């Protein structure tokens, strides 16, 4: 039995509405849905609470009708809980919220949902490249331009061109105004006289050349970069940024540790250059042109070592590492990576994310933190925290924040620390220890005496405890920024730039490791949203055994930090 062919992957319409559901922009491609169907997005989705409906089907109300009064219920809908896909009747709606508008696509066909959302996201990025923020005011001010972009980005519902670099070749901010002016001028020149046949021929040839260039760029493999770029100084900035997530025991040993990283590249290069990057991962161990020295990076065949964007880092002795979940930017030549194990690509102009990865084994933890809480009676508790940096001496950690939870019935805290500053925050029920700079191989210590109202062992029926349960010590939380260090051990072995112009590009590499965003609650639930976002997922469990007095291993005197230590200077 022959199966029917799959339905075509095509969009019926693309439209943008504000939070009230008013249609700002509407572009229909297949004429199989009407404006009434588009208005159903307002009456059936925005006015319907997500908590009382299925993510993929509309529900009718108790009186048999699914229409509701949008003006009375839309303001009560939790927009964050709205599912991104809804089916109302035969219409499938897919939408993304940006600022105070919804960018939506509608179709009657069983289309590829991933493709639809990829198209919507690309369209949003194109709008941002043209007029900045995508909001209601900017959309109303640029609606003519947006109609032109929708016509070029999609043909009969099939996505075509979504690259802003290509679209800017033949659609400009003043395109519609220029069309009107040219229509009024008709065939007149700048001086008001009729153009000669020679001028008309020359203008036609120029238009044909631009059309051929645009066609070659649209159908070629480098539509993300427009030709003809020129820079007085050709430079490449490459940043390896990693976020570490780990939990350590009270003695400093790691229970679990992982890190996720991304390679961000900012290319300011002329022409159409080709870049090649070699990594010390296990896949690219045999990459051609690689150097054995993990701290030296080839400048592109001239035998010189490229300068670092900052202070030279510690030498990571591991030769190769295992990278998981590799994701590349679409400019990367995957066939060359599969054969040569080298990241080869023609970069887009400006800054972009080249690749993402994850490492779950052999993660280097940059700090050793040992914490101990000891009871000194019913109303006193001592807190002792040792913080030691275990990386190279030339590397300097910056903006370290250690959050030490204390019992909720704390009345007063006396703090003494050998480095940084610490204070008690009653509203957050914690001690916040701020360390501006900490060089590698240094050790600092914090000692605090906590005065309590009542005892942490009071029973639930004790009036002084307010009926609360016994306090359990939450883990410490550490936030930091560590330049020129990678927890995974990833290194850039070489970075080569080749171009037809034959120029020599200046290349910079920077490494940065930070603590990952924290998703746990507990004592951090009282933080503001901005502070919670800054908190790291570097947790340290606390030892509450008062008999263990030899938990610390001092290898030197505690140092008082200088605020000027660790400031990096870029060398040419």
Sign of CA dihedral 277, 366, 529, 468: positive
CB 408 within 8 A of CB 449: no
What's the rounded Cα separation, in Å, for the pair 357 and 361?
13
* Bridge partners, 244 (sequence order): 259, 515
Buried b (16+ CB within 10 A) or exposed e, 100-132: ebbbbbbbbbebeeeebbebbebbbebbeebee
- Whether 148 has a pLDDT exceeding 80, the answer reads yes
Please report the pLDDT score of residue 206 as a whole number: 58
542 vs 89, which has greater pLDDT? 89
166-170, 309-313, 361-365: the lowest-pLDDT one: 309-313
Supply the pLDDT for residue 388: 93
Name the residue with higher pLDDT: 307 or 435: 435
Tell me the average pLDDT of the chain: 73
Q: In this predicted structure, which of 194-198, 266-270, 408-412, 568-572 has the lowest mean pLDDT?
A: 568-572
Confidence (pLDDT) at 458: 52
Percent of the chain, pLDDT > 70?
64
Average pLDDT of 518-526? 32
pLDDT of residue 424: 93
pLDDT at 319 over 50: yes
pLDDT tens string 89-138? 888 999 999 988 999 999 988 888 888 999 999 999 889 888 888 999 98
Query: Is 45's pLDDT higher than 60?
Result: yes
Indicate if the pLDDT at residue 163 is higher than 70: yes
What pLDDT, on the 0 to 100 scale, is given for residue 377? 82
pLDDT at 221: 47
Residue 472: both structure tokens together = 């359990």
Question: What integer pLDDT is reported at residue 204 of this predicted model?
Answer: 57
The reported pLDDT for the residue numbered 205 is 55
Residue 544: pLDDT band with limits 50, 70, 90: low
Confidence of residue 162 (pLDDT cuts 50, 70, 90): confident
Domains of the chain, start order: 13-170 (3.30.450.60), 186-219 (no CATH), 235-246+257-363+486-515 (2.60.40.1170), 367-484+517-540 (2.60.40.1170)
Left (φ > 0), alpha (ψ -120 to 50) or beta: where does 420 sit?
A: left
Q: Do you know the residue count of the chain?
A: 572
User: Bigger pLDDT: 4 or 459?
Assistant: 4
pLDDT at res. 168: 79
Structure confidence at residue 310 (pLDDT): 36
Question: What's the pLDDT band for 8 if we cut at 50, 70, 90?
Answer: low
Q: How many percent of the chain have pLDDT more than 90?
A: 31
* Residue 48: per-residue pLDDT: 58
Query: Which region, left, alpha or beta, applies to residue 417 given φ > 0 means left and ψ of -120 to 50 means alpha?
Result: beta
Lookup result for tokens 């204390």 = 406
The pLDDT assigned to 2 comes to: 60
The backbone region for 505, taken as left when phi is positive above 0, alpha when psi lies in -120 to 50, beta otherwise, is beta
Closest Cα partner for 345 from 490, 497, 214? 497
Whether 190 shows a pLDDT value over 60: the answer reads: no
Residue 511 binned pLDDT confidence (cut-offs 50, 70, 90) = very high
């Amino acid at each position: 039995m022959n199966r029917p062919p799959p339905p075509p992957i095509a969009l019926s319409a693309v439209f943008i509405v504000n939070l009230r559901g008013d249609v700002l922009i509407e572009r229909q491609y297949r004429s199989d849905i009407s404006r009434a169907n588009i208005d159903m997005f307002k009456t059936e989705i925005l006015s319907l609470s997500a908590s009382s409906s299925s993510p993929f089907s509309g529900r009718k109300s108790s009186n048999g009708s699914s229409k509701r009064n949008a003006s009375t219920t839309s303001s009560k809908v939790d927009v964050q809980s709205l599912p991104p896909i809804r089916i109302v009747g035969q219409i499938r709606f897919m939408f993304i919220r940006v600022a105070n508008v919804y960018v939506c696509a509608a179709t009657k066909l069983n289309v590829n949902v991933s493709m639809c959302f990829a198209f919507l996201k690309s369209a949003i990025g194109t709008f941002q490249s043209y007029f900045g923020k995508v909001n209601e005011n900017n959309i109303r001010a640029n609606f003519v331009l947006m109609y032109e972009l929708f016509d070029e980005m999609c043909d009969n519902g099939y996505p075509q061109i979504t690259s802003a670099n290509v679209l800017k070749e033949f659609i400009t901010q003043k395109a519609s105004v220029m069309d009107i002016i040219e229509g009024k001028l008709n065939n007149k020149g700048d001086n008001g006289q009729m153009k000669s046949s020679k001028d008309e021929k020359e203008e036609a040839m120029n238009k044909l050349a631009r059309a051929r260039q645009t066609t070659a760029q649209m159908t070629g493999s480098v539509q993300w970069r427009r030709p003809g770029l020129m820079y007085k100084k050709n430079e490449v900035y490459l940043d390896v940024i990693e976020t570490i997530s780990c939990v350590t025991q009270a003695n400093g040993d790691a229970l679990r540790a992982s890190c996720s990283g991304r390679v961000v590249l900012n290319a300011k290069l002329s022409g159409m250059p080709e870049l090649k990057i070699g990594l010390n991962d296990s896949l690219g161990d045999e990459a051609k042109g690689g150097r054995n020295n993990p701290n030296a990076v080839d400048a592109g065949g001239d035998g010189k070592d490229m300068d670092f964007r900052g202070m030279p880092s510690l030498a990571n002795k591991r030769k190769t590492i295992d990278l998981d979940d590799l994701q590349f930017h679409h400019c990367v030549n995957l066939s060359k990576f599969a054969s040569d194990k080298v990241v080869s690509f023609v970069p887009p102009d400006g800054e972009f994310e080249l690749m993402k990865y994850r490492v779950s084994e052999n993660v280097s933890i940059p700090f050793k933190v040992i914490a101990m809480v000891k009871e000194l009676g019913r109303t006193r508790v001592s807190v002792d925290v040792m913080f030691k940096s275990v990386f190279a001496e030339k590397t300097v950690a910056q903006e370290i924040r250690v959050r030490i939870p204390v019992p909720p019935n704390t009345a007063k805290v006396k703090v003494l620390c050998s480095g940084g500053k610490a204070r008690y925050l009653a509203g957050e029920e914690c001690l916040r220890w701020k360390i501006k700079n900490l060089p590698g191989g240094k050790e600092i210590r914090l000692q605090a005496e906590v005065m309590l109202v009542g005892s942490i062992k009071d029973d639930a029926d004790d009036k002084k405890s307010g009926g609360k349960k016994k306090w359990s010590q939450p883990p410490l939380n550490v936030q930091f920024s560590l330049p020129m260090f990678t927890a995974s051990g990833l290194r850039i072995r070489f970075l080569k730039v080749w171009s037809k112009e034959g120029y020599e590009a200046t290349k910079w590499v920077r490494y940065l490791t930070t603590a990952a965003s924290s998703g746990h609650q507990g004592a951090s639930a009282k933080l503001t949203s901005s502070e919670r976002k800054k908190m790291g997922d570097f947790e340290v469990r606390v030892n509450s055994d008062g008999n263990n007095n030899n938990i610390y291993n001092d290898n030197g005197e505690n140092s008082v930090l200088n605020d000027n230590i660790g400031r990096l200077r870029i060398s040419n």
